[in-house]
Structure 1
Amino acid sequence: MVIVYTDRRLVGERDLAALAVSVVAGGASRVVLREKDLDTTEREALADRLRAEIGDLLLVSDVDGAHRDAAGTVVGRAAHSPAELAAAAGAEYATLSPVYATASKPGYGPALGLDTLRRWCAEAPVPVYALGGIDTPARAAECVRAGADGVAVMGVAMRAADPSTVVSALKEAVWNSRSSR
């Protein structure tokens, strides 16, 4: 599974809705609208536009890190610690970050690394998707071999000339690594 977070500031002059369609075509299982700098009206309008293109695959991240569907149901949660992973109980998944140093959110905190990812995944009450600095299929594979159920990405997909191909390669790496564990 590959989850793609949005960041419209990284897409240049490209249309974010078209990019969302592209990552879904590449195999993204979810697209999470992050855009926390927008006011409520702007975020809702953007969510409506993206939902018109990709339907129920769109989730919207709220200020507490909950990923909500169109009905407001919490589907996933962002986590950065064991306590936040535990708080995700009842959700379908949690993203855990930052696994690696990341260009998209520099200074967010020290990278957790694969050993921490392994330990925290083993204790998590929900499937965990590694996030942060996952910019190659090899890194996606490392995360899955360490215990993640999938990966979540932002920058690598938002900056890509061909986001569909990038997501497809990540999905293949996740799939191959899951089937070999």
Structure 2
Amino acid sequence: MRPPFDPTLYLVTDTELCGPRPVADVVRAAVAGGVTAVQVRDKNASRRDLLALTRAVQAAVVDAPGVCVVVNDAVDVALLADADGVHVGQDDLSVVEVRALVGPDRLLGLSVSSRAELDAALALPTGTLDLVGLSPVWSTPTKPDAGPALGLAGIRDLAAAARAGGLAAVAIGGISAGRAAEVAATGVDGICVVSALCTAADPTDAARTLRQELGRSRPAEVTR
């Protein structure tokens, strides 16, 4: 059975932005402030180093059993670490093949940047995917190869379609504390942040502020 998954405040790690602090220390502090899920991402790490990083993050959240740890892209690392799931992009292994590899008991997420990509995800066999990551809301330096910004209107439309198709949806890309509420108001199930927590002097306080803003989500002004 797949683990319960709360994507309300979803931290995607960035080793360089966390530095010189260990990623696990930032994760531990952010979880104390209200982070509900963690995706371990380090595009520059070797598989050996990514596995060590994943295990360090798992150890950092061991006292927060409701916080899932998902590995970005590396299905082999997710399996070796016995992670809660894996998140893949459009250019990675097909999600049908990934589901076959990870089995029925792990979470599987997919990055989506257009209605065509979402429609393809919704056409997959039931149970293949658990989550779509809608990106980017706004352009962000942490992922310079991302597609054009979707804006709030684009996120709202994709989130509604994902929900109608039975998939959870999170938004990522340029989301700060000042923008968190308007993104939440689009109807996504959660927001993903990188810089807002990885660069924070006090990740606990930064996460707490983000949770407060999410609790005050207001109708978003539809702009591009």
Q: TM-score, normalised by structure 1?
A: 0.86
| Post-superposition offset of 1:83 | 4.1
* Separation (CA, whole Å) in 2 of partners of 1:168 and 1:32: 18
State the secondary structure of the residue aligned to 1:165: helix
Q: Report the equivalent of 1:127.
A: 168
Moved >4 Å (runs of 4+): none
Question: Is residue 26–residue 168 contact of structure 1 (8 Å, CA) maintained in 2?
Answer: yes
What secondary structure does 2:191 align onto?
strand
Alignment: residue pair count? 177
Q: CA deviation at 1:48?
A: 1.1
- Match in the other structure for 2:99: none
Aligned: 1:163 with 2:174: no
What are the residue-to-residue correspondences of 1:25-174 with 2, within 5 Å? 25-55=32-62, 57-62=68-73, 70=83, 72=102, 73-86=106-119, 87=121, 90=127, 91-124=129-162, 125=165, 126-136=167-177, 138-174=178-214
Offset of 1:75 from its aligned partner? Answer: 3.8
- Per-residue deviation, residues 77-131 of structure 1 (Å, max 9, x unmatched): 3222234434276333222110012132235222110111111111113121110
Mapped partners of 2:159, 2:73: distance in 1: 23
Identity across matched positions, percent: 35
Between the aligned partners of 1:63 and 1:166, the Cα distance in structure 2 is 28
Question: Do the aligned partners of residues 106 and 62 (structure 1) sit closer, same or farther apart at CA in structure 2, a change above 3 Å counting?
Answer: closer
The code of the aligned residue for 2:111 comes to A
Of 31, 34, 38, the residue aligned with 1:24 is 31
Secondary structure of the 2:217 match is: helix
Whichever residue aligns with residue 72 of structure 2, its letter is: S
Contact kept? 2:13, 2:38, Cα under 8 Å: yes
Cα distance between partner residues in 1 of 2:150 and 2:74: 22
Q: Larger radius of gyration, structure 1 or 2?
A: 2
Distance 1:84 1:2 in 2: 24
Instruction: Indicate conservation of the 8 Å contact 2:135/2:146, yes or no.
Output: no
TM-score by length of 2: 0.70
Assess if the C-alpha contact under 8 Å between 1:36 and 1:63 holds in 2. Answer: no
Alignment CA distance shift 1:84-1:63 (3 Å):
farther
Unaligned runs of at least 5 residues, structure 1 = none
Aligned-partner SS, 2:51: helix
**Secondary structure of the corresponding residue to residue 10 of structure 2:** strand
CA RMSD of aligned residues (A): 2.5
Give SS of 2:212's match: helix
